[in-house]
Amino acid sequence: MRKFIAEVSEKLRSHEHKLTSRRECILCILLENKDKHLSAEEVYNLVKQKSPDMGLATVYRTLELFCEFNIIHAMDFGDGRKRYEFGDDSGDGHHHHHLICEKCNKIIEVNEDLLEELENRITNDYQFSISNHHLKIFGICKECMAKSNNKQ
């Protein structure tokens, strides 16, 4: 993780930006919550515990900066705010998919890319040159299914 932070610092530095202590603090929060898909407001609330005088605008500006440098990217899970996760969204787009539980709002990542065959079909049938895709699958997760079965 030390190494990752140093890498980020280098990336920023090579374009006349600094990894200031506030920015590093935000990066840490993101690292500590890799699995959570935090929103800006959520990052802000977590960051305030370590750094109570940080402003919300700084969080927004930092998240935008990290996006520009492809350290994180924004996703929309349909709740009206951007949520962030690590990873480059600009490349050939073969990243993971998301299962969204409609009961507990948990987000499960599916890391295999399961759409290659489908993409080939679309490329052929529509002569559409694919650069990226977003697949969101809504439903009920294993745990919530178990809970609702117990209640019955």
Partner DNA sequence: ATTTCTGCAAACGATTTGCATGTTA
Partner DNA sequence: TAACATGCAAATCGTTTGCAGAAAT
Interface map 105-124 toward a copy of itself (x if CB under 8 A): ---x-x---xx--xx-xx--
Give whichever of 8 and 141 is closer to DNA, judged by the CB atom: 8
Gap between the Cα atoms of 136 and 140, Å rounded: 13
If one asks whether residue 50 binds DNA (CB under 7 A), the answer comes out as no
If one asks whether residue 147 binds a copy of itself (CB under 8 A), the answer comes out as no
Count of CA atoms in the C-beta half-sphere (13 A) of 76: 4
If one asks whether residue 28 binds a copy of itself (CB under 8 A), the answer comes out as no
Q: Which residues, at least 6 apart from 42, have a Cβ–Cβ distance to it below 8 Å?
A: 36
Choose the contact partner of 27 out of a copy of itself, DNA, none; CB within 5 to 8 A by kind: none
If one asks whether residue 62 binds DNA (CB under 7 A), the answer comes out as yes
DSSP string, 9-41: HHHHHTTT----HHHHHHHHHHHHTTTT--BHH
If one asks whether residue 72 binds DNA (CB under 7 A), the answer comes out as no
